[in-house]
Amino acid sequence: MEPLYFSIIGVARTLFFLEGLKFTVKGAENIPATGGAVLAVNHTGYMDFTYAGLPVRTPRRYIRFMAKQEVFDNNISGPIMR
């Protein structure tokens, strides 16, 4: 897996810790440990998507995101997402 991906996960987890955020994940046992899976996340804020990776930590899976074209066209987020 790309080094940038692990770095971003580490930064997000550190920010969650520094902000004092605590999470309760329910239903993680329904995520298969192998094979394909689709998680649909409805979010209303700019950073809500970062919470999508929390349920898959137990089966040690990693999230891949779909995003609209404008995210890839942006000078800052585009190279990161690619």
For residue 65 the two structure tokens come to: 């995101």
Whether residue 58 has pLDDT greater than 80:
no
Share of the chain above pLDDT 70, in %: 95
Contact between 3 and 33 (Cβ < 8 Å):
no
Of 75, 80, 31, 82, the residue nearest 52 (C-alpha): 31
Instruction: State the average pLDDT over residues 16-34.
Output: 87
Where does the pLDDT of residue 10 fall: very low under 50, low under 70, confident under 90, or very high at 90 and above? confident
Of 33, 81, 75, 72, the residue nearest 55 (C-alpha): 33
Q: What is the pTM of this model?
A: 0.60
Q: What is the three-class DSSP state of 55?
A: helix
Predicted pLDDT of residue 33:
84
